[in-house]
Amino acid sequence: MKKSSKMIEVMLVATVLAVPGAAIGTAAPVYAYDGKSDLEVMPLPDDIRKLLVDLKEDYVPLLSDLHVDAIGKGSKSETILALSDRKSVITANIFLDLVVDADGNITSLKLNGADRDQQKWDKQATYKKLTDFIRENVPDHIVIATQPMLSTERKAGLDRLAVVPFYPVLNGVWVKKEMGRAYIDASGQIVHFWQEKKKLPLVAEVTDPKKAIALEKAASAWGNDLDVQLVYDTAAGKLVYEPVKLPVVDALTGEIVPEVTVTATETVKLKGTAGNSSWGDRTKMEEWLAKNFALKMSSLTFEAPSVKQKKRDTDLYEWNARMYQSASVLVERKSKSLLAFSLDGSAQSEREKPLSEDEAKALALRFAETNLLSREQSFVVKQTRPVDYLPGWADQNVVRPLYQYDFYPEANGIRAKTPLFTIEVDAKKGNVVKAKVNETAAMPAALDKQGVIGQERAKEMLLKHAALRLAYFYPQIGGQTSATPQLAYVPTADTEALQVEAKTGEVAGNWRELTE
């Protein structure tokens, strides 16, 4: 943030108001301002005032419309601020929560209520502003992803945003373990940011990077294992080739790191019988949860959609449990259609015999047909599950038997690039535990393959632009992550975003979607 000597009109009143949204945990003392009080005002500390001025000028222009509702100190001497455009005790549209550490670095920023512009993205300008913000607030030596991604997480209110993650460094090598993210809207305003220290292994516990094979040898192995597939990019309206998977190369042996999941695909036609009469109706949703997931609704605490999301086009309903499972349902406000569902936490009891592969698939298909799809449609369904024989670092008692199903619309035997639905089944719970509907453009009824280049040519073009980077890589499976990272060559974010236009052979970096 630029140096500035300007003053900011942010005032605090030496009084405490019971203002919704102003609570900041254990921070104390608390001062609040209701926008019209004639009580004596207190200026903000100089360093905080200057930080807000610079933040407004460089990254959050909406700050000019906000005032401080509350300020206090946390357990680690961090400053915690809650700001809003509140004009009365009960009325506010925009909220900004900030946490600033003792060194003046922002560790958390959450802006709620701002309009999300639908204008086109300037990818280069977006990336520059995100990386500038990260560098100004993260004092550690870090690796920043080489390009932004699109965030589509509607449940968390983080859709229609661009995001850049960043990572720690060990032995001068990228550690592929996120330590934070910065999000920005299309207008260029930072709306969400977090960072946290990550516990890294000792130098003696990891492989010395000097023992790594040459990059050229790793690139050769990576290229030999790479496969591409023809898909339809609904956002671009084009047939493109994309990697089937992105291999990882063991930096000591030069061999491809074995996959910890198994995938299979099949084409299915679903009738689609979903209605919208239940979603958004608390009574009907609770009946659905009790019937299909055996939840005891009387033991759960209901939480209605947040007042901080009034400008959103979605409503999040939550049922939280002190023990065992909680549930959440995300509903599109106008159409009253289901957008996302999750069942979190441990079940009170689980199946003695987990669902078989066929039983899990049947459950996912039935959920999509009865809850997500309202008309007959064909899909290529991709199933992903853990390998039968787990790697040595994985604990059989910890790894969850999770089956993920991605439902890709298809035409002429060619699937869409992005799935319309994603459903996850926990075989030990015997239930769907996650479901998500993605925002995608419609698939054409038919696709013209005339003039499309072949797979080998497409692969050759993609390899000319691909790049690998040495990293400490953490394998993951069924909710468990390896305790010790593996030294490996992994594709960069630029490489992950590559696709080849199927009719021209042109290689371009598309907007990659952030996946959890």
Predicted confidence (pLDDT) at residue 277 exceeds the cutoff of 90: no
393-399-403-408 Cα dihedral, nearest 10 degrees: -50
pLDDT tens figures, 144-197: 999 999 998 888 889 889 999 999 999 999 999 999 999 999 999 999 999 999
Strands in 64-201 per DSSP E: 67-73, 79-84, 95-100, 106-112, 142-144, 149-153, 158-170, 173-176, 180-184, 190-195
Q: Residue 69 has what pLDDT?
A: 83
pLDDT tens figures, 436-481: 999 888 999 999 999 999 999 999 999 999 999 999 999 999 889 9
Residues in Cβ contact with 91 at an 8 Å cutoff, skipping those fewer than 6 apart: none
What string of DSSP letters covers 131-157?
HHHHHHH--S-EEE-SS-EEEEETTTT
Q: Residue 90 has what pLDDT?
A: 56
Q: Residue 88 has what pLDDT?
A: 56
Q: Read off the DSSP letter of residue 3.
A: -
Place 5 in a pLDDT band, splitting at 50, 70 and 90: very low
Q: Residue 23 has what pLDDT?
A: 30
272-297-159-183 Cα dihedral, nearest 10 degrees: -150
pTM, two decimal places: 0.87
Q: Indicate the burial class of 56 (C-beta count within 10 angstroms; 0-12, 13-18, 19 or more).
A: buried
Report the run of H or E that residue 405 belongs to, with start and end: strand 402-411
Q: Residue 42 has what pLDDT?
A: 55
CA distance 356 to 346: 20
pLDDT tens figures, 283-336: 999 999 999 999 999 999 999 987 666 667 899 999 999 889 999 999 999 999
Amino acid code (one letter) for 196: E
Q: Residue 155 has what pLDDT?
A: 86
Q: Residue 206 has what pLDDT?
A: 95
Number of Cβ atoms within 10 Å of the Cβ of 31:
20
* Residue from 293, 281, 285 nearest 425 by CA: 293
pLDDT tens figures, 74-123: 888 899 999 988 765 556 688 899 999 999 999 999 998 887 766 788 89
- Percent of the chain past pLDDT 70, that is, above it, reads 89
CA distance 307 to 515: 27
**What values do phi and psi take at 508, rounded to 5?**
-140, 155
Check if the beta carbon of residue 401 is closer than 8 Å to that of residue 428: yes
